[in-house]
Amino acid sequence: MSNIVDAIKNSNYLYMVKIDLEGFITYVSPYFQKRFEYLGKNLVGVFSLDTVYIDDHQKCAEVIQLCFAEPEKPFPVVLRKPHIANSFLWTQWEFSLQLNDNKEPLEILCIGHDITHVEELNEQTINMNALLLEHQNKYSSLFELSPVGIAVNSMDGHFLEVNTALSNMTGYSKSELLKIDYWTLTPQSYQEQEQEQLRGLHNLGSYGPYEKEYIHKDGHTIPILLNGRLVIDKHGKPRIWSIIQDISKVKEREQIIIDQNRKLKEIAYTQSHVIRHPVANILGAVDLLENEIIPPSIQVLVEMLKISAQQLDDIIRETVLKSRALESSEEEISQLHTRDSA
């Protein structure tokens, strides 16, 4: 037994402290004295609670009461020791009441060690968990409250996570979507484009912007625009994270513009031919008059008439050219919509 006591006294890991029944320190091991020397050059004779962080005084008193209630049993307690710069060190102790030969209380034996690094790790873990929970809550809110569809798919296309916006868009409930894959929603005519987007996903880690259609639950198709990235989940498995926008209204507005442009083009062609015929007659008449001998005053009027007719003819030609430009603008509208949506 004495060998064990000597080993603890000489330990560079364990502390040994003895306290009399009035609470004053009667013995400290060399390692304890060295570790907490800033509390006193000689800690023997110091009131024990002076070496305990003030907020732990009550805890210390309670464990001593337990020792007196059950003198044959040691009791564990975690205590903080005052340290420099208003900080503290964490220590783990085991208190036991020592008895004399008559089984009367003699002193309190305290065996302990430093657990500051453990508590710091625990605090870091708690803070990290709190931060992760905060980010998870933000992600969940962004995912669920997003006005556009968001989905997480496995590499074979099965839906793993979907938000309410995608459910509303497709007509399927969330639980129904999680039982199918995006191939179920994709018309067969998009098979080749799908493979091309998947190759881009593998090579670049992302895909899109990509326009295609989804098949609604009731059978009609929905024009959509997709963008996505390849992500790795917490289990190390690759997943496809996609943003899905319903562009039905954009397509409707685009079609309205195309239809209006087509009508304007038809009007421009029709009216240009109708108007150019009388203009050509006027210019022909002017040419005949220029070959005749006419008074100078009339010749001025003829010249003015010729200039005006030529100007009108130029305006008609310009209108025809602009109507032709409408054809190319239809394609530009579609490209602009795709870029803006992306």
CATH of the domain at 180: 3.30.450.20
Give the residue, 315 or 160, on which the prediction is more confident.
Answer: 160
Same domain? 181 vs 81: no
CB proximity list for 269: less than 8 A, separation 6 or greater: 320, 323
Report the predicted TM-score, pTM, of the whole model to 2 decimal places.
0.48
Domain end position, chosen among 226, 246, 266? 246
Whole-number pLDDT of residue 271: 63
Angle at the Cα of 97 from the Cα atoms of 93 and 103, rounded to 5 degrees: 165
Residue-number span of the structural domain to which 141 is assigned? 116-145
Mean pLDDT of the region 306-332: 69
Instruction: Give the integer Cα–Cα distance in Å for 156 and 140.
Output: 24
Where residue 107 falls among pLDDT bands split at 50, 70, 90? very high
Same domain? 125 vs 68: no
- Tens digits of residue pLDDT in 182-223: 999 999 999 999 999 999 899 899 998 999 999 999 999 999
- Tens digits of residue pLDDT in 263-304: 777 766 666 666 666 767 777 776 776 677 777 777 777 777
Mean pLDDT over each residue of the chain, to the nearest integer: 83
- pLDDT above 90: percentage of residues in the chain: 46
Same domain? 154 vs 240: yes
Same domain? 304 vs 237: no
Whole-number pLDDT of residue 268: 65
Domain end position, chosen among 218, 246, 274? 246
Same domain? 235 vs 217: yes
Whole-number pLDDT of residue 258: 77
Same domain? 38 vs 55: yes
Domain end position, chosen among 222, 246, 270? 246
> Which of 29-38, 49-58, 294-303, 310-319 tops mean pLDDT?
49-58
Same domain? 259 vs 337: yes
Same domain? 189 vs 141: no
Whole-number pLDDT of residue 341: 46
Q: Domain count for the chain, please give it.
A: 4
- pLDDT above 70: percentage of residues in the chain: 83
Mean pLDDT of the region 128-153: 78
DSSP 181: B
Whole-number pLDDT of residue 206: 92
Residue 321, both tokens: 């050219």
Domain with residue 296: its CATH number is 1.20.58
Same domain? 64 vs 20: yes
Same domain? 85 vs 104: yes
Give the residue, 5 or 36, on which the prediction is more confident.
Answer: 36
Whole-number pLDDT of residue 168: 94
Instruction: Give the integer Cα–Cα distance in Å for 157 and 179.
Output: 11
Whole-number pLDDT of residue 342: 44
Same domain? 110 vs 120: no
Could you give the maximum distance between any two Cα atoms of the chain, in Å? 156
Give the residue, 65 or 331, on which the prediction is more confident.
Answer: 65
Same domain? 128 vs 155: no
Q: Specify the long-range contacts of residues 315-321, CB closer than 8 Å, at least 24 apart.
A: 316/272, 316/275, 316/276, 316/279, 317/272, 319/268, 319/271, 319/272, 320/268, 320/269, 320/272
Whole-number pLDDT of residue 218: 95
